[in-house]
Amino acid sequence: MKADILEKSIFELQFRIQKQVTEVRKTANSYFPVCPGCNTSLEREYQSYCDRCGQALSWRGFRRAKVEKNT
């Protein structure tokens, strides 16, 4: 039981450490930043956390983000 709680804490901590948004997904007429945690498109730029997975986001390198090719 104790190990489970510890594991959960580590898991939660990981999501509090900011991850840089480094990818942008291109759709027909728009661009969406991609969450580095769960790899889904983010609805808004410069949001602090991902709506889906709760990953803390860093936008520091976002201007140099690469556009993901639609394949």
Strands 66-68, 23-26: pairing kind: parallel
Shortest CB 52 distance to Zn ion, Å:
4
Select the residue interacting with Zn ion from 38, 43, 46, 60 (CB under 5 A).
Answer: 38
Q: Where are the beta strands (DSSP E) in 1-71?
A: 19-20, 23-26, 31-34, 57-58, 66-68
Select the residue interacting with Zn ion from 24, 52, 56, 62 (CB under 5 A).
Answer: 52
With beta carbons less than 8 A apart as the criterion, state whether 1 and 10 touch.
Answer: no
Query: Closest CB to Zn ion among 31 and 40?
Result: 40
Span near Zn ion by CB under 5 A; candidates 4-12, 22-30, 35-43, 58-66: 35-43
